[in-house]
């Protein structure tokens, strides 16, 4: 006995494990801030910080120096405000009737995107002169949220003449396909925004999401709004190496293994048939954990993989709610053991490749990460 109490052994568990690396998150924010040059760098933390967890991500982003957060819903804004008294919180989803008191109570910045929203905010501010300033969102092509650019001149006149009725904090727009290098649409949006921005010379402007930061350094303006790249997503559609560091890792334990003969089928609905004697492993993770149904290989298509012992193992049959079956015929025996872990996201399996093989995008994979995953937060080095 040396008197040092032994570390308690980790609790044995059949949960799948999501590891979140806060050092990688801070690194990514700093890399984007460096790319953004003299523009301020915010963080888009909608959808629970892209699935990582607002309470997990925001303290790390604050410690890296982030002071501007973008959310979609009030439920997110309240959680961000509980973590920071003075950071600015923009509510991207616009302004709905009679919601003014929420903006006032939590000091949120409304992002106004239509003439009725402007009129209602003006009415609210008339009764509440202590309300925060507002952002204006112009729609330059998404046809989703935002003012028509043709309304810009009138709004700018009202702003100049002091009849707008409230102070402006930001003028912004959003790209349609910023991830595509050389996009004609992006170039057109940049041109339209430049004209709008000239109408509001004294107001800070914001146009770039993650991809825009890389591809449109001429359009950084005063504040950039990265989301996906912060969390490790590849900001470009080119085949260049991803400049961002991976932030999450997803692993699932092997519950059982078995060998099936040629002609036997795997999973609900018999969508995959063995063409050779096949060794299977069943993993403790399913679509309830965020792995999309449709990620798997069937008799008619090639799907995604997991890594076991350094070998790519195909997902087979239908993903079940709580279970996933993979082909471990070629994986090393030592790695194919009950309780050993398979990697679903990590190393060469990026959120982009996982999204791609599931017929969706990495964004969807991130925001779908399940609530019952065991979440382990690590804080590696900041090099």
Residues classed as catalytic: 46, 268
Radius of gyration of the chain (CA): 24
φ and ψ at residue 173, rounded to 5 degrees: -150, 175
Q: Which stretch binds ligand PLP (CB under 6 A): 26-34, 225-233, 257-265, 339-347?
A: 225-233
Q: Are 25 and 60 in contact (CB under 8 A)?
A: yes
Q: Which of 166, 228, 272, 287 binds ligand PLP (CB under 6 A)?
A: 228
DSSP 97: T
Tokens of 193: 């925004």
Is 51 a binder of ligand PLP (CB under 6 A)?
no
Q: Are 90 and 112 in contact (CB under 8 A)?
A: no
Sequence-ordered strand ranges (E) for 66-214: 68-71, 88-91, 109-112, 134-137, 168-172, 205-206
Burial of residue 351, with CB atoms counted within 10 A of its CB: 0-12 exposed, 13-18 middle, 19 or more buried: buried
Is 272 a binder of ligand PLP (CB under 6 A)?
no
Is 68 a binder of ligand PLP (CB under 6 A)?
no
CB of 206 to ligand PLP, least distance (A): 8
Between the CA of residue 279 and those of 94, 154, 259, 319, what are the distances in Å? Answer: 53, 69, 4, 17
Is 225 a binder of ligand PLP (CB under 6 A)?
yes
Distance CA 6, CA 78 (A): 41
Question: Which CB sits closer to ligand PLP, 189 or 210?
Answer: 210
Is 140 a binder of ligand PLP (CB under 6 A)?
no
CB of 54 to ligand PLP, least distance (A): 15
Distance CA 187, CA 299 (A): 43
Handedness of CA 144, 187, 49, 137 (dihedral sign): negative
Task: Tell me how many residues contact ligand PLP (CB under 6 A).
Answer: 10
Is 174 a binder of ligand PLP (CB under 6 A)?
yes
CB of 80 to ligand PLP, least distance (A): 15
Tokens of 228: 């996906």
CB of 174 to ligand PLP, least distance (A): 4
Helix (H) or strand (E) holding 210: helix 210-215
Distance CA 336, CA 197 (A): 59
In the range 230-249, which residues lie near ligand PLP by CB under 6 A? none
Is 366 a binder of ligand PLP (CB under 6 A)?
no
Is 227 a binder of ligand PLP (CB under 6 A)?
yes
Is 210 a binder of ligand PLP (CB under 6 A)?
yes
Q: Which stretch binds ligand PLP (CB under 6 A): 5-13, 149-157, 221-229, 304-312?
A: 221-229
CB of 116 to ligand PLP, least distance (A): 20
Closest-approach residue to ligand PLP (CB)? 227
In the range 84-103, which residues lie near ligand PLP by CB under 6 A? 92
Distance CA 173, CA 137 (A): 5
List the one residue out of 100, 165, 99, 167 whose CA is nearest residue 134: 167
Is 253 a binder of ligand PLP (CB under 6 A)?
no
Question: Which CB sits closer to ligand PLP, 229 or 236?
Answer: 229
Q: Which of 226, 232, 253, 290 binds ligand PLP (CB under 6 A)?
A: 226
Q: Which stretch binds ligand PLP (CB under 6 A): 197-205, 227-235, 238-246, 339-347?
A: 227-235
φ and ψ at residue 42, rounded to 5 degrees: -95, -165
Judged by the rule CB under 6 A, the positions of this chain that interact with ligand PLP are 44, 92, 174, 209-210, 225-229
């Amino acid at each position: 006995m040396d008197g040092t109490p032994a570390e308690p052994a980790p609790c044995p568990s059949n949960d799948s494990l999501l590891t979140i690396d806060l050092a990688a998150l801070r690194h990514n924010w700093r890399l984007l801030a460096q790319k953004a040059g003299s523009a301020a760098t915010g963080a888009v933390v909608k959808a629970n910080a892209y699935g990582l967890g607002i309470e997990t991500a925001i303290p790390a982003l604050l410690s890296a120096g982030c002071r501007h957060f973008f959310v979609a819903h009030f439920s997110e804004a309240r959680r961000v405000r509980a973590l920071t008294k003075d950071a600015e919180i923009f509510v991207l989803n616009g302004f709905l009737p009679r919601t003014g008191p929420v903006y006032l109570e939590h000091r949120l910045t409304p992002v106004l995107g239509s003439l009725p929203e402007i009129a209602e905010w003006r009415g609210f501010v008339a009764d509440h002169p202590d309300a925060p300033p507002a952002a204006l969102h112009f729609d330059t092509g998404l046809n989703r949220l935002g003012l028509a650019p043709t309304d810009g001149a009138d709004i700018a006149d009202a702003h100049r003449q002091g009849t707008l009725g409230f102070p402006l904090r930001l003028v912004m727009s959003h790209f349609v396909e910023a991830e595509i290098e050389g996009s004609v649409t992006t170039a057109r949006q940049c041109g339209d925004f430049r004209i709008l921005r000239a109408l509001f010379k004294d107001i800070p402007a914001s146009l770039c999401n993650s991809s825009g930061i890389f591809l449109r350094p001429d359009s950084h303006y005063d504040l950039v709004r990265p989301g996906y790249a912060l969390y490790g997503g590849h900001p470009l559609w080119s085949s260049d190496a991803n400049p961002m560091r991976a932030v999450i890792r997803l692993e699932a334990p092997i519950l059982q293994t078995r060998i099936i003969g040629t002609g036997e089928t795997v999973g609900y609905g018999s969508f995959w048939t063995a063409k050779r004697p096949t060794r299977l492993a069943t993993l403790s993770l399913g679509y309830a954990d965020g792995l999309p149904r449709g990620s798997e290989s069937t008799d008619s298509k090639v799907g995604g993989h997991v890594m076991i012992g350094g070998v790519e193992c195909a997902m087979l049959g239908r993903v079940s709610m709580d279970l996933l079956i993979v082909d471990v015929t070629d994986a090393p025996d030592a790695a194919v053991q009950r309780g050993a872990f398979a990697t679903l996201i990590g190393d060469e399996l990026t959120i982009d490749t996982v999204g791609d093989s599931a017929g969706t995008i990495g964004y969807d994979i991130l925001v779908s990460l399940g609530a019952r995953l065991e979440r382990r937060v690590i804080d590696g080095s900041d090099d």
